[in-house]
Copies of this chain bind each other. A is one copy, B any other.
Amino acid sequence: MDTALLPHLTRELGSRFFVAPEALATVATDDSGLVALPDAVFFPKTTREIVKLLRLADRYGFPVIPRGAGTGLSGGCLATGDGGVVVVTSTMDRILALDTENLIAVVEPGVVTKTLRDAAASVGLFYPPDPASLATCTLGGNAATNAGGPACVKYGVTRDYVLGLVAVLPDGDAVRAGVATRKGVVGYDLAGLFVGSEGTLGVITELTVKLIPHPREVRATAALFPDARTAVTAVAAIMASGVTPSAVELMDRACLGLVEELLPFALPGDEAALLLLEADGDPDTAARDIGRIEALCKDAGALALLPAPDAARREALWDIRRQTSTRIHESAPVYLSEDVVVPIARIPDLISELPGLGRRFGLGVFAFGHAGDGNIHVNITGGEGSRDRCASLARALIEIVLALGGTMSGEHGIGLAKKPFVAMELSPRSIALQQGIKAVFDPKGVMNPGKVLP
């Protein structure tokens, strides 16, 4: 952007508009590990301030990059080479309504996901989407990326809960999309279009989300399998049994190797896989369902079960899953998180390709994730200077996933990191339609330019 504008923007936008390098550094990266400095960062408190910013952007033609908590894994909230103004919505963090009669909440975009989940739970209600970063990520960011999480196998993703929203368009007009009720079909689904558009169509400044009754009990168990194929057989049997688990997390042998000392059993062989499963509902339903899940795991060939009948033992199981993630991060200087999806029955075919991919590129490959959705987080690690090789492995992985009938991203989005691969999955006509939609919302290309679409 034309940096000669910055003094003018500083005068117009006031004390929460920063150009100092130390302020810019706070928004220079996200969990993708990509780094790019913007020219300025703005922390608005009101929709009106965002309107003001975008009117200026419309007039002067500089990029505006929306950002929540910066926990994204695809670089979607980063500036590009053209610089621009990062607008951080995490400062707009009020729960405007928690309506127990109508089972909805109205929130500003900066409300932390866990904050809403806790507030809802305190009145017996449930906001299901639970991305791994839920303790820090924001609902605005969740909506921008259509975030998922373990609970989505039973409860659906963020888009399934966004009933309506307010967004400021790139020219500074605020528009209301969707409804404040639990249903609505008037016109095209603009709310659903904003969800998952990764900040390329406008800045979301308010969300109306659907809440549901909170399950009264959660029960967990883990099951060790000789290999991923056997584990996925158990997943298919569980899903076909009439029970919908509220989490079906798979960890492959590479992941288990990182947390071996946390496991109460020795790892059998080179292909072992672990399933972490939950069932929720009424106390007796949850208990019975988890018992059924355990029986189905045994029938499918589980070598060991690790029941977690209380909260402490459940927490210990999830700690294994969380530690895996942390230790993958810490195991190497370069780290890339792919989140491919394949049809559930194809998960073993995917997992069996991973060791070979790792050897071929000389990189670490660790797979865990939401097996009940077919959504597997494939984590690629390498030494300093291996980023290009990691990207080459990611491309090879995506080729395999597409050949299996899958998609390159289940919940992390495209951002900058996966943009080079989009044309592998979407047809030229699909991309052209999306570019056409982008031009309708943002004819001057000021909103998060250079993201998502080729």
Name A residues whose Cβ lies closer than 8 Å to a Cβ of B: 99-104, 123-125, 145-146, 148, 152-153, 156-157, 159-160, 169, 173, 175-177, 179-190, 192-193, 195-197, 212-216, 236, 239-244, 281-282, 284-285, 288, 341-345, 370, 372-375, 405-414, 418, 422, 425-427, 429-431, 433-434, 436-441, 452-453
Contact = CB atoms under 8 A, between A and B. Distances in A.
A100 to B, nearest CB: 6
A146 B452 CA distance: 27
A370 B407 CA distance: 36
A159 B189 contact: yes
A375 B413 CA distance: 33
A175 B342 CA distance: 21
Contacts of A439: 440
A187 B453 contact: yes
A284 B285 CA distance: 9
- For the complex formed by this chain, how many copies does it contain in all? 2
Contact of A407 (B175, B181, B453): B181
A407 B179 contact: yes
Nearest to A201: B188
B181 A342 contact: yes
A185 B242 contact: no
A422 B187 contact: yes
Query: Which 5 A-B pairs rank lowest in CB-CB distance, beginning with the nearest?
Result: A436-B440, A101-B345, A183-B410, A102-B343, A184-B407
A286 to B, nearest CB: 10
A436 B282 CA distance: 48
Nearest to A406: B181
Contact of A193 (B192, B372, B413): B192
A185 B440 contact: no
